Amino acid sequence: MTDNKMTDSTQPQISIVLPTYNEADNIEPLIERTLQALGNYPGGMEVVVVDDDSPDGTWQLVAAKAKTDPRVRLIHRTTESGLTSAINRGISEARGRWVGWMDCDLSMPPEEWPRLADELARGTDMAVGSRYVPGGGDVAHSFTGRLFSRIINLYAGLLLDWSIKDYTSGFILGRKEIFDKIELQGDYGEYCIDMLYRTKQAAHTIRELPYLCVPREAGESKTATDVWGYLRRGVNYVKTVWYLRFGKQ
């Protein structure tokens, strides 16, 4: 495992966690765009990349960047894997007062980070990049993918809390103390449903801000690509909503 620490001992305002696996074609522009978006934000920022030993060389590219920019940190995992555990690891080692994360395929524009950060600066506890509030949208996925996403979010809204529109966002910025109390759990995207609902139940304020989800720029998608794939993923989403509403996992 490689984990380089920032040389500046001052706590940054924002930590952005980037969980990666085989994103060599996307990670360098993603880091650069994130640094450009938040580099001048009051209080400073850092980027924490958690890589699951990508065979395509993603972690080597991050390691090289980290040597020249102390705002970039690499956590290279060789004995663990998985999206949720990677985000949890990044959160646990993040130094920022506010912590966020996003997909690493450039489907979520890092230029939106300042808008989410400004929402926290106004007193909101958690800001969510949302496809399903006015002004948001999704042109990244197929009709089947968009339909499944809409159905899951409708189901979650009806059984849990209708005020949340994009339960499967994965584009999050929140106060670190929230994640100190609410650890992410789940195998894949269902972690977001669980986290958002428990955050709302704990009386933290959540604000959704619109963004346009666009197609990944390079590499292979980690999400489902056909009906059967969506059904396999969907089972855990359905179970998560059901247990949050009617019982404990």
Q: Is the pLDDT of residue 120 over 80?
A: yes
> Which pLDDT does position 142 carry in this prediction?
85
CATH number 3.40.1190.20 given to 14-246: no
Q: What is the largest CA-CA distance in the chain?
A: 50
Whether the per-residue pLDDT at 71 is higher than 50: the answer is: yes
Q: What is the pLDDT of residues 144-174, one digit of tens each?
A: 889 999 999 999 999 999 999 999 999 999 9
Distance CA 84, CA 193 (A): 12
Which sequence spans correspond to the domains of the chain? 14-246
**pLDDT value of residue 51:** 98
User: Is it the case that residue 223 has pLDDT exceeding 70?
Assistant: no
Instruction: Say what the pTM is.
Output: 0.90
Structure confidence by residue, pLDDT tens digits, 90-116 = 999 999 999 999 999 999 999 999 999
Q: Residue 12: name the closest of 116, 93, 67, 68 by CA.
A: 93
DSSP states along 107-148: SS-GGGHHHHHHHHHTT-SEEEEESSSTT-EE-SS-HHHHHH
The Cα 157–Cα 128 span in angstroms is 16
DSSP character for 52?
Answer: -
